Structure 1
Amino acid sequence: MKIVDDSGIERDFFFEMSKYAGHLYKSHVERHLAIYELYKKTCELPGSVAEFGIYNGSTFFFLARLIEIFNGPSFEVHDSSSHHLYGFDTFEGVMGLTDKDTTEVHTTKRHKAGFKQDPNIFLGDLEHFQEANCGIAKRLHTIKGDATVSFPDFVKRNPGVRFRFVLLDMDIFEPTHAVLNSILDYMVPGGIIAFDEYGFPEWPGETTAVDQFVRKNHLKLNAIPWACAPAAYCVINN
């Protein structure tokens, strides 16, 4: 695959992508490093990984690589393993805004269908990724829908699934609250739940849902000081 730069010079895409740190914003590199640090704390635990809020798939694919690198082994015939990746998204952008999400702090994405992407682009990329990485292909799953409905339905249909690392990146109150309302029943001891926008003035709904969850369950919030996101996380020692 070739790309053409601003000077009209043809470059090899994959060679250029190997220099990804020079092309990305610093915050993007920080975020992946922070997610790696949190993932590393859980990679010796049983259980799966979940991302709530896939957006364009950048974190989903990064998490898939982490599973491939650190938790690849499985029973070959059926690719059976406790280490799966589940991605939850409406694929229609932000839905279910309430008064708890209201603030005078401006952001262009806090409205119905904010962050909406063409799902066919991500799903096409996922299909290609699965074809190229058949060792974990059957362990990568996407669940479409509003998490207030899709997550309760998912755990009802998959009672044996347990989570060791969960990344909540839905930004608003209702879906975040709905997932946190029952997620502890499916977390393994020592597992981690990370909150992408906790404490961000632009996203009071997520912060409110997390505060309620932490107080109710007597948990401690932690942060990675050198990364802006995920902004907070807690270790589940139930």
Structure 2
Amino acid sequence: MKIIDDSGIERDFFFEMSKYAGHLYKSHVERHLAIYELYKKTYELPGSVAEFGLYNGSTFFFLARLIEIFNRPSFEIHESSSHHLYGFDTFEGVVNLTDMDHTEVHTTKRYVAGFKQDGNVFLSDLEHFKEENCGIAKRLHTIKGDATVSFPDFIKRNPGVRFRFVLLDMDIFEPTHAVLNSILDHMVPGGIIAFDEYGFPEWPGETIAADQFIRKNHLKLKAIPWACAPAAYCVVGN
């Protein structure tokens, strides 16, 4: 497919996309490398992967690629393999702020409907991705709704699902707390829960929910020293 750039030069779209790293912000590359490092710690475990807070879907698709690369033999040989990817999002942006989310530190996204993306765009991208990657298509799932309701409902309907890697990127207190309040019994021993904005002054709610969870379950927080986000993670069940 040919495109014309701003200088009037004709370029091949897919060739240009192969050089995508040169067009990414350093922080985006850093974040994907950090997620890769965490994923590597769990890929030999049974269980699925979950992301809470999809935004534009970039991390969801990256995680799908990691499953495709590291766990392909499992899901190609065994139709009922446990290696699925679940994405939870309201597709309405931030839906509820509480006192736990209040801070004097300014950020442009901390309001109801902040981070809102067109869910139809993401779902269209997802369908296209599935068409192009049919091997993993049946293992990609999205669950729409407020996680305070959608996640407890999900585990009630799917009591056999277990997670080995969970990325929490909802930023605010209530949905983060609700997921953490329910998820531990559904984690495999040695699994990882990562907190994207832990310790970020702009997003105290996620940090407060994480601290409550860590103290209650006597876990230890760790970090990848060179990465800004995910900012912290814990290993459960060891």
- Class of the TM-score when normalised by the shorter of the 2 chains: over 0.9
Please state how far the C-alpha of 1:225 moved relative to its aligned partner: 1.0
Task: Describe the SS at the equivalent of 2:143.
Answer: strand
Q: Given the alignment of the two structures, is residue 199 of structure 1 paired with residue 206 of structure 2, yes or no? A: no
Counterparts of residues 38-77 of structure 1 (less than 5 Å): 38-74=38-74
1:119-161 CA distance string (max 9 Å, x none): 1111011001101111110000000000000000000000110
Task: Please name the residue that 1:36 is paired with.
Answer: 36
Give the aligned residue type for 1:172: I
> CA–CA distance in 1 between the matches of 2:14 and 2:59?
19
Counterparts of residues 75-224 of structure 1 (less than 5 Å): 79-224=79-224
1:85-113 CA distance string (max 9 Å, x none): 00000000011110110111011100000
Please state how far the C-alpha of 1:73 moved relative to its aligned partner: 2.8
Please state how far the C-alpha of 1:23 moved relative to its aligned partner: 0.3
Cα RMSD for the two superposed structures? 1.3
Pairs aligned (count): 238
Task: Please name the residue that 1:24 is paired with.
Answer: 24
Q: What TM-score, normalized to structure 1? A: 0.97
Please state how far the C-alpha of 1:76 moved relative to its aligned partner: 5.5
| Maintained 8 Å contact 1:75/1:81 | yes
> CA–CA distance in 2 between the matches of 1:225 and 1:2?
42
Please state how far the C-alpha of 1:77 moved relative to its aligned partner: 9.0
Structure 1: runs of 5+ lacking an equivalent? none
Please state how far the C-alpha of 1:21 moved relative to its aligned partner: 1.4
| Maintained 8 Å contact 1:190/1:236 | yes
> CA–CA distance in 1 between the matches of 2:32 and 2:40?
12
Task: Please name the residue that 1:226 is paired with.
Answer: 226
| Maintained 8 Å contact 1:51/1:166 | yes
Identical pairs, percent: 89
Structure 2: runs of 5+ lacking an equivalent? none
Please state how far the C-alpha of 1:72 moved relative to its aligned partner: 1.6
Task: Describe the SS at the equivalent of 2:51.
Answer: strand
1:142-191 CA distance string (max 9 Å, x none): 00000000000000000110000000000000000000001100000000
> CA–CA distance in 2 between the matches of 1:169 and 1:15?
32
Please state how far the C-alpha of 1:63 moved relative to its aligned partner: 0.2
Please state how far the C-alpha of 1:2 moved relative to its aligned partner: 3.1
Give the aligned residue type for 1:222: K
> CA–CA distance in 2 between the matches of 1:136 and 1:75?
8
> CA–CA distance in 2 between the matches of 1:75 and 1:9?
43
Q: What TM-score, normalized to structure 2? A: 0.97
1:43-89 CA distance string (max 9 Å, x none): 00000000000110000000000000001234669832100000000
> CA–CA distance in 1 between the matches of 2:104 and 2:184?
33
Task: Please name the residue that 1:10 is paired with.
Answer: 10
| Maintained 8 Å contact 1:101/1:172 | yes
> CA–CA distance in 1 between the matches of 2:58 and 2:83?
19
> CA–CA distance in 2 between the matches of 1:189 and 1:96?
32
